Amino acid sequence: MNIILKQDIPSLGYKNEVVKVKNGYGRNYLIPQGLAILATESAKKVMAENLKQRAHKQEKIKNEALELQEKLTDVKITIGAKTSTTGKIFGSVNNIQLSEALQKAGYLIERKNILVKGDTIKVIGEYIAKIKLHKEVEFDLPFIVVSE
C-alpha cells in the first residue's frame, strides 16, 4: 500500500513523502491516526501542487530576508546604558535592547532572532550579534554599547 505522510515519522519517512507500507499498518494505524493519506493519483497531484506553491512562498521570503540583510549591513547601532565610573553597566544589555534599537532605526526584527554572544553584556564596548532573518540567512551585526 502506498501512502503520503502528513508528518515526519521516525524510521518511516518525512512529511509529504510517498512510502510503501504493509496494508494493515497503513489501514489500521497511519490513516486513522491522521498521520497519512492514501496515495491516489489525485492526492499525488494535490501534494505536488502544494509543494510547488510552498517552494515559491519560501523563495519569496528568502529573497526578502536577503534584501533586509543588504540594508542592515550599513546600519550603525548604538545602545546607551547607565554605567559606573569604571565602565561597568548597571544591569545588562541583551537582545531586547538590541531589538528596540533596531526598531528605532526602522527595522522590525524579533528579539528571538537575535543572538548576543553570552546572552548579556555588562561592560561598554563594541560587540557583534548574530541576526537570523531566515533559516538560510543569518549574519553578524556589529553594535556599540556606550555610557549615557
Q: pLDDT tens for residues 90-141?
A: 888 888 888 888 888 888 888 888 888 877 788 888 888 888 888 788 888 8
User: What is each CA distance from 124 to 91, 100, 128, 130, in whole angstroms?
Assistant: 12, 18, 13, 18
Is residue 98 within 8 Å of residue 130, measured between CB atoms?
no
Q: Are 79 and 129 contained in the same domain? A: yes
CATH number of the domain bearing residue 37? 3.40.5.10
- Specify the pairing of strand 2-5 against strand 137-147: unpaired
Of 14, 29, 62, the domain-final residue = 62
What pLDDT is recorded for position 70? 87
Q: Are 92 and 129 contained in the same domain? A: yes
Q: Provide the number of structural domains found in the chain.
A: 2
What pLDDT is recorded for position 30? 93
Q: How many CB atoms lie within 10 A of CB 127?
A: 19
pLDDT(5) > 80: yes
CATH number of the domain bearing residue 113? 3.10.430.100
Domain that holds residue 49: 2-62
Q: Are 76 and 111 contained in the same domain? A: yes
Q: How far, rounded to the nearest angstrom, does the alpha carbon of residue 61 sit from its chain's CA centroid? A: 11
pLDDT tens string 17-73? 899 999 999 999 999 999 999 999 999 999 999 889 888 898 998 898 888 888 888
Q: Are 76 and 108 contained in the same domain? A: yes
State pTM to two decimals. 0.61
